[in-house]
Structures are given as C-alpha cells and as structure tokens.
Amino acid sequence: MSSLRSIPTLDDVARAAGVSTATVSRCLNSPDRVIEKTRIKVMAAVEQLGYTPNFGARAMAAKRTFTIGAIIPTMENAIFARGLQAFQEALHARGYTLLVSSSGYKADVEAEQIRALVARGADGLLLIGRDRDPSIYEFLQHRSVATLIAWTFEKGSTQPSIGFDNHAAMKALATAVIGKGHQHIGLISGIIEGNDRAAGRYAGICDALRAHGLDATAMPIIETPYEVENGAAAFADMMQRTPRPTVVMCGNDVLAVGAMKRARDMGLRVPEDVSITGFDDIELARIVTPELTTMHVPHRDMGQRAGEELVNMLEGTSAGSVVELECALKLRASLGPPPA
C-alpha cells in the first residue's frame, strides 16, 4: 500500500535508477550537466516514487533556499495586499517562493518573525518601512540576508529600498486641500511611533500648512490604529473640536472610509458639510459614496519591482538600489470647498 511506503529520499531514487545520489541531485539541479539517457531514467524513478526533495537538508547543504520572506504590518485590510500580490508574482516568475507573515504593527512580533524567517533559510526579506531597532539590521547583515525596504523612500538612504516619499505626497495632498480654501484641517493619523510612513505624512501636512502661513501646531490630530472602526470613532471625536475642522484628512483610506461612514451616520454630508481625504487609493476609495479624494500609491508597480530587485540582489545583479516611485493625486468628490 502506498501509505505504508515511507518517504522516498535521494538515496531511494538513486537506487531505483541505478545511479549515485550525486547524479540524481544533478538531474534535479543542473539537468544539462547530465546525459539525456541517464536523466530520463532518473526522472522516471523520481516520478514513480513521488520523490520530493527535503527542504531542510537542501538548505543545509546548499545554503540557499530560493525562498523570500515578507513581513507586512497587517493582512486585515487591503493596504498591502495588492503590492504583495505583485511581489509574489514577480518572485514566482524568477523561481522563488514567497512566505508571508504579518506583525500586527508590533515591533517585537516583527522582530520575532524576522528571526523565524531567517532561521527557515529565507535568502531575502521584504520589510515595510525603515523605522526599526538597529540590532535587527545588524542581525540581517550578519546573516547576509538580502533585505529590501518598501513603502517608503528617503533621499540619500543607504538601505536598499523602493517606495515613495510619504512626506512629499501628503504635502501635495494637503496643498490641494488648502487650495480649495480650507483653513481648518483635522488629521486622523495612524500611530506615528515606529512608523516612518505615518510620521512622514504628518510632517507633510504641517509643511503645507506652514507654506501657506497657517499654524501647523494648531492642527487637531488623533492617532489611532488603521482600522475602519477607529476612523469612525476618531471622526466623531474630531467633530467636537473647536473650531470644527472643515476637512478631515486621514492617514490612509481605511481610516477615511471609517470617517465617511460615521459622517453619514451623524447626518453630515460629504463634502457639503465636511470634506474627507484618504491616502493609498485602495479599491475601497472608489467604492464608497462619494468617492474618496486620496493619494494614489503605485502598489502593483512597487511590489513587482521590489520582487525583481530583491532577486537581482540575491543573484548579484544588483547591489541594492534606492528607487523612488511617484504617487498621483486623485481628486474626487469627497473633497469640496469648506462650507460657507
């Protein structure tokens, strides 16, 4: 019975094909270094026995796994989904496997997962954002794990990275908002501590305000984890402030959508009574009514290029570059002029 047969090893295949284990290994890894006749014989044995290489053994002997790990802050909303999908596809096309973990925006969980992935032999890692305990980067370097930072770009950074300038992008969005005539902006931000993207976006708004002679320190700001419910709660809170903001800018679309929902529940019309903006331009942004003014982030492009870059780093084709991607302002119905 097949279920009694134990798991076949290289040795079993070699025996069945009447060759050495070295030859079987070659057939699997560099088929061209083996004469066709032998190869066919070996492959038949592989097939017949249902052989699958043991990954641990292979990793140990080859010091290479063709596996790349990615740790994203969350899978619960779509922010990283698109980019990750594209990343995965790019890796797959180059023969690599992607393993994903999510940290729930918790630094210690992330550190643990980085170790887990490295211990499992990940050749490379995709990390989101740059704010991280330095010891982690030391560890990664020590283990010579190729590491690429995504979702953020910083001029003159030394870390290989691909992303966009969160600061500049949010500044552009805020500038557009101010251009509509708004003087009272309220900000619902993600948790800024340990999150350079959130920090950059916040700073971008302040910059825009200052550039227009407005007082950035007066801006009401609520920090809360990126969840719809939190956006809703923060919005309600924000509407109590004095002076009441005429526009609520949100750190991402998820918060913004929560804010819009609460506005609706509170009987406030968007944008007649209050304007709302997001960031990311995930699918959600065009599903809600009214459609959300937001900053488009090239998720797919970023993911795909991240995949290619990481593979290139692994294969020595690239030393790890720093690439900046462009965002695009999406002016939609949720932003209007301030109420008269």
Partner DNA sequence: TTGTAAGCGTTATCAC
Partner DNA sequence: GTGATAACGCTTACAA
Interface mask toward its own copies for 111-150; x: CB under 8 A: --x-xx-xxxx----------------xx-xxx-------
Q: Is 288 in the site for its own copies (CB under 8 A)?
A: yes
- Residue whose pair of structure tokens reads 């038949």 in the numeric block: 44
For DNA, the closer of residues 33 and 241 by Cβ is 33
3-state secondary structure of 312: helix
* E strand or H helix at 56: helix 55-62
Whether residue 145 contacts residue 125, with contact meaning beta carbons closer than 8 Å, is answered with yes
Q: Which of 40, 47, 48, 54 binds DNA (CB under 7 A)?
A: 54
Site size with DNA, rule: CB under 7 A: 30
For its own copies, the closer of residues 59 and 325 by Cβ is 59
Query: CB burial class (10 A; 0-12, 13-18, 19+) of residue 259?
Result: buried
Contacts of 307 (CB under 8 A, 6+ apart): 86, 87, 88, 89, 90, 91, 93, 94
For DNA, the closer of residues 25 and 252 by Cβ is 25
- Segment interacting with DNA, rule: CB under 7 A, options 7-15, 97-105, 124-132, 292-300: 7-15
Q: How far is the CB of 58 from its own copies (least distance, A)?
A: 8
Q: How far is the C-alpha of 200 from the C-alpha of 207, rounded, in Å?
A: 10
* E strand or H helix at 108: helix 107-119
Please choose which of DNA, its own copies, none residue 85 contacts, taking the beta carbon within 5 to 8 angstroms, the exact cut-off set by kind.
Answer: its own copies
Q: Is 61 in the site for DNA (CB under 7 A)?
A: yes
- Residue whose pair of structure tokens reads 């690429």 in the numeric block: 148
Q: Which residues bind its own copies (CB under 8 A)?
A: 2-3, 5, 7, 50, 52-60, 67, 74-78, 81-82, 84-85, 88, 97-102, 104, 113, 115-116, 118-121, 138-139, 141-143, 228, 257, 260-261, 264, 283-284, 286-289
